[in-house]
Structure 1
């Protein structure tokens, strides 16, 4: 294992060497509300784009919201001149995941970097997630009214199927337990039509197709949520992996992607107890689809500090104290032997024997967090050197800085909670 104290962006050199010619780098976070994770992830991503030619950033966010930000960052027609204005339009709870000062700073850097280059060489920013059923449906309707009115009836039929439930997705999810209440047939017809049109070139057509994919997977996801278990998680992460692959195809055979998501999506699920529950994730699927040599998985961890989170789903965000990691955890082990900030790059020896090859508790904080659960929850047993290729350690962390935004609920709580 290579270990290095982190003091600045230049200290990522060993990790960039590990990235080498890899096509996909997935960068995690141990919580959705920690400044230090966002800042280090930003520094690493800047280097991947500027020095290694990575083509786009794909995040655990909604496609329509991220598409507006993408327009700003790439200088597309109609895009906001200031990325922070686009971020302030993120409405889905928890807004602080993306509408925060840390992402705004990265956005301003990426826009400036992009505008110095031809349009074909600009790095994009895209959402991978599945939640935006209504928003994606509206984008499709608007697109077809303007570009392809003959195809509008199929989209309107799908919209009418969902319309009795208003935007109360939880009511549709409950009703969809009964086969005759599902909108699957209408959605499949919509998706088929949008896929056909997307074969023709054009960013707008591709975006409309992706929104149709979101609608199709969202319908499956919300239906699966009612049944409980791991199926809804697998629908969501498979959708994110499929979206990543579509983007790689879209950007071309030499495209390279950076992914930002929670550790639970990034770290290979097969090296955790998630696999025992029948769960898979994006990191696992990326390795399976592209090969381990073409994928680099980067995890994060902290021992103590503060975090932005909420006490319950949909509640206002709070700055919460993250207590010292519990005894026996990988975080406690790192706290005792590593500097304040450190980079670890794992090798085969780490995966073969020792502490990093054994199942050890590894903390995971979602958007919903109760520090009092630390005694028995909030940890995922993991074989760390198998789950990740590298790990970024921040012993003491601080909460990130949300922008003012209007939170709007409407989606069911994720499983596991808030990640």
Structure 2
């Protein structure tokens, strides 16, 4: 079977070195409602750079409205206001990226995103305000940041609703810090936690949003922050109870956020998602599905039907990667070992160097009736232990619609926000 799979990949791969080589691939995804682009790690230059290149083409030439990423809503929304040239965001891009304060900061505070944001800011400057392209966060973690953003907005726009926000804040305040961990621990003693207060806050804001007319997107963001606060409270409370998985809560939140963004941008809106392969590659075709877990890739196929969604995996055989040895530890450039024998990465390595493959083409050449080990590197990573983990058993031709393979990749170029003058990589700009 191994030799047959390698042969089938060789027969169907499309080598690429620039965007022009990917034109047939672009043509196959340009009319989709949702295009999701993955990554096998959160710290690889090529994944970020090529997602940006493809997204640029989809926005410039095919009317896609926004990129939504595996990031926090408040910090991504600040970058969104920056790239849309709002008058209250007259700061340089590097300063805007300082909003990404929660570990792992390097996921979005990096030179690859810096280049993307500068291009997007310039592109938007030529567009009417309603046509400008957005950048948003899908994630659920930002309990404190979302509460702070709500307080700031209501102080200016709706002082009458501020008391409800203060009530919620007073409930959470004793547990502030630790990325929600302290609050999670507190719910072991008081299981209800601040559920009632945060639900009241969401109800208040939902009822008032139609009256916030001065800045529709800012009003939308305030409502989203209230939803994040509600769902984050549930996420941390469930995490502490240990009674059920928080994975599905998180991905359901991300999918619902994507739905709201598409609705906000109009009935013909088209969106792009950047997230890890474990989120965008259909979970039902992995051992995650065996455990009752789903993800946004699977949910999007269910929500919008498979023909209107494209799930695009990214992966590599070897190289270097940014990650931390433990949660909250300093970021490091680590070695990315050669892919495990007989893994998807190993098979691709034996089939070519840098290529795109359409999974429909692969299916037409071979029926792969077994799951293949497929690498997944998180923000916490230990290369020495990789062969004992970091691989997801996958029915590869069904999990994705397309796959982009890179034989050797390099670590992401993070921005040291603590340095007075962060060193710019010699290869910057990378070229979009």
TM interval, shorter chain, is over 0.9
Q: Judging changes above 3 Å, is the alpha-carbon distance between structure 1 residues 219 and 298 closer, same or farther for their aligned structure 2 residues?
A: same
Could you tell me the TM-score, scaled by structure 1's length?
0.93
For the pair 1:188 / 2:202, whether they are aligned, the reply is no
CA distance in 1, matches of 2:402, 2:186: 44
- From 207, 223, 238, give the equivalent of 2:252: 238
- The answer on whether the counterparts of 2:39 and 2:277 sit within 8 Å (CA) in structure 1 is yes
Within 5 Å, which residues of 2 pair with 1:8-407? 8-168=18-178, 169-180=180-191, 182-200=193-211, 201=213, 202-228=216-242, 231-338=245-352, 340-347=353-360, 350=363, 353-355=366-368, 358-405=370-417
* Most deviating of 319-328 and 2-11: 2-11
Q: 1:354 offset after TM fit, Å?
A: 2.9
CA distance in 2, matches of 1:331, 1:135: 38
In the alignment, is the contact (CA less than 8 A) between 1:133 and 1:215 conserved in 2? yes
Contact 1:71 1:80 in 2 (8 A): no
Secondary structure of residue in 2 paired with 1:78: helix
Gaps of 5+ in 1: 408-419
- 2:428 matched residue in structure 1: none
Q: CA 1:351/1:224 → structure 2, altered by over 3 Å: closer, same or farther?
A: farther
2:423 match: none
Aligned-partner SS, 1:54:
coil
* Alignment correspondent of 2:3: none
* Contact 1:88/1:404 (8 A) holds in 2: no
Distance 1:232 1:317, change over 3 A: same
**How much has 1:397 moved relative to structure 2?**
0.5
- 2:144/2:176 contact within 8 Å kept: no
**Local SS of the residue matching 1:279:** coil
The 2-side partners of 1:391 and 1:165 are apart by 43
Contact 2:191 2:237 in 1 (8 A): no
Q: CA RMSD in A?
A: 1.7
Contact 1:95 1:406 in 2 (8 A): no
| Contact 1:88–1:405 under 8 Å retained in 2 | yes
Cα deviation, residue 351, structure 1: 7.9
Displacement of 1:177 after TM fit? Answer: 2.5
Aligned equivalents of 2:35, 2:110: Cα separation in 1: 23
Contact (CA 8 Å) 2:175, 2:186: kept in 1 or not? no
Aligned-partner Cα distance in 2 for 1:68–1:87: 9
Q: 1:406 Cα shift?
A: 5.5
Provide the secondary structure at the position in 1 that maps to 2:357.
strand
Q: Which moved more, 1:74-83 or 1:60-69?
A: 74-83
| Distance change (3 Å), C-alpha of 1:229 and 1:31 | farther
Which secondary structure state, in structure 1, belongs to the residue aligned with residue 403 of structure 2? strand
| Cα distance in structure 2, aligned partners of 1:93 and 1:249 | 30
Q: Secondary structure at the match of 1:305?
A: strand
Q: Which runs of 5+ in 2 are unaligned?
A: 1-8, 420-432
Kept in 2, the 8 Å contact 1:82–1:108? The answer is no
Give, in angstroms, the shift of residue 178 of structure 1. 3.7
Aligned: 1:6 with 2:20:
no
Give the TM-score, by structure 2 length: 0.90
